[in-house]
Amino acid sequence: MQIYVVQKGDTLTNISKLFGVPVDLIVSQNKITEPNNLLEGQTIIIPVEGMYHFVQQGEDLTGISNLYGIPLFEIISVNKLSNFGPLPVGFPLYIPRKSKTVIETSAYDDIGLTKDNSPKIISEIGNALTTLPVFSYQVNRDGSLTLLDDNPTLNAAFNNGVAPVLVITNIEDGQFSQELATIILNDETLQEKVLEEAIKIIEEKGYFGLDVDFEYLGAENKEAYVKFLAKAKEMLNNKNPNYKLSVALPPKTSEEQKGTLYEGHDYEAIGKIVDQVLMMTYEWGWSGGPPMAVSPLNKVKEVMEYALTKIPRNKILMGVPLYGYDWTLPYQKGGKWAKAIDQVEAYDIANRYGAVIEYDDLAQSPFFNYVDEEGNEHEVWFEDARSYQAKFDYVKELGISGLYNWVLGFDSPQNWLLIEDNFIPVKLFR
């Protein structure tokens, strides 16, 4: 597929003619809500086999061949070039599609967010997914689990060849609770009750495994959490060796990293126990913090490089967000929190206020600024086709098990188009 960045004066009609793809198809694939008002800097995915490279000043065929990793003779052949000399600036070179990479793909379905739309969303993206962690069965202080109305979601997953995974969390009163985690992790009887109930639900409902997402544990729970995961793995194996155990890990760059979010997770010890880790490589830009990219690739790389020194690469899924944030400026700590938005909403906002989409090359993330009707300045960071492709290229470069998205309910169509263009998702059943 071709990622096209809209230039000033572009129209869908012109873009359609350039690539020979119907306007309606471009609109539907990208969920473009304002087809007559394209934004400068907006990314559009053109559904074509392979892609086109428009020659830039100073480029030659050898450099372009190296850029895409496509043999020089193949580029010459498919473009029917008889002259190997300099190409004119703007010349469209067809770049054949490279072979796809087989990986595991996943996406958390927060039923509290997707609600009744969950089955519809799963039916639309099922081809792009290996597993579906269903978020979440919340652990209570007595060791019981708060149940979910997840049957419609599970039926949709089964019907679309996606393996559901039961997620348990230490969420209490709407947020992750260190106190709750401490109670559970320091009482073996409560731990067994939590795990027995989780395994019973897995058996009854047909889940493929258990995902543990305990956050903000603090240093005092570090060893106890490792023991809890070891117990979970043992109990799952005893019930059914095919049941898999995964765990969500916060983004650390060293074992000594300070903070309640980080200190309770021992990468190396956890990596030895579980079947899979889901790296939470996002939330650098978060709703209560200053404006910045949610998942800046330069920061993601720091985390992944460290993780690979502690955890086998065949156990790692890298997190990719489906959302961004709209901050009201000036940012004030403890002030108004940023609003979570998705890609479609970001473009709608930019269209409404006549913003130009810019791109941060270091973070590999798009952003824009605007002024609302009340004169308030805003800064928006989100994900687009360029940022998704940069992350997917990095997943391939690392040779890790795969990637996952957080979280369904945010409409980011280009993510799914590019997953299917870059990868062959593993399927655990058909």
pLDDT confidence of 430, banded at 50, 70, 90? confident
Quick one: 87 and 34 in the same domain?
yes
Look at residue 11 in the predicted model and tell me its pLDDT: 98
Higher pLDDT, 91 or 310: 310
Look at residue 86 in the predicted model and tell me its pLDDT: 83
Quick one: 60 and 161 in the same domain?
no
Quick one: 290 and 402 in the same domain?
yes
Token output for 257: 């990293």
Provide mean pLDDT across the span 354-360. Answer: 98
- For residue 46, give the CATH number of its domain: 3.10.350.10
User: Rounded to an integer, what distance in angstroms lies between the CA atom of residue 100 and that of residue 162?
Assistant: 20
Residue 333 falls inside a structural domain: no
Based on the residue annotation, tell me whether 420 is a catalytic residue of this protein. Answer: no
Domain boundary among 95, 114, 147: 95
pLDDT confidence of 64, banded at 50, 70, 90? very high
Quick one: 80 and 163 in the same domain?
no
Look at residue 39 in the predicted model and tell me its pLDDT: 97
Residues spanned by the domain of 150: 101-322+389-425
Mean pLDDT, the chain, rounded, equals 97
Domain boundary among 95, 116, 149: 95
Quick one: 80 and 115 in the same domain?
no
Residue 64 falls inside a structural domain: yes
Look at residue 85 in the predicted model and tell me its pLDDT: 76
Residue 336 falls inside a structural domain: no
Quick one: 110 and 82 in the same domain?
no
Residue 10 falls inside a structural domain: yes
Residue 373 falls inside a structural domain: no
Quick one: 121 and 255 in the same domain?
yes
Look at residue 237 in the predicted model and tell me its pLDDT: 98
Quick one: 235 and 267 in the same domain?
yes
Q: Are 339 and 326 in contact (CB under 8 A)?
A: yes
Residue 210 falls inside a structural domain: yes
What tens digit of pLDDT does each residue of 85-115 get? 788 999 999 998 888 999 999 999 999 999 9
Look at residue 409 in the predicted model and tell me its pLDDT: 97
Residue 114 falls inside a structural domain: yes
Residue 330 falls inside a structural domain: no
Look at residue 98 in the predicted model and tell me its pLDDT: 80
Indicate the number of domains in the chain.
2
Q: Are 52 and 75 in contact (CB under 8 A)?
A: no
Give the pTM: 0.93
Q: At what angle do helices 343-353 and 413-422 cross, to 10 degrees?
A: 130
- For residue 306, give the CATH number of its domain: 3.20.20.80
318 has a pLDDT exceeding 90: yes
Look at residue 50 in the predicted model and tell me its pLDDT: 86
Look at residue 82 in the predicted model and tell me its pLDDT: 79
Of the residues 34, 192, 196, 215, only one is catalytic, namely 215
132 has a pLDDT exceeding 80: yes
Quick one: 74 and 208 in the same domain?
no
Domain boundary among 95, 123, 156: 95
Quick one: 32 and 81 in the same domain?
yes
pLDDT confidence of 140, banded at 50, 70, 90? very high
Quick one: 297 and 232 in the same domain?
yes
pLDDT confidence of 51, banded at 50, 70, 90? confident
Quick one: 134 and 37 in the same domain?
no
What tens digit of pLDDT does each residue of 226-282 get? 999 999 999 999 999 999 999 999 999 999 999 999 999 999 999 999 999 999 999
Look at residue 97 in the predicted model and tell me its pLDDT: 83
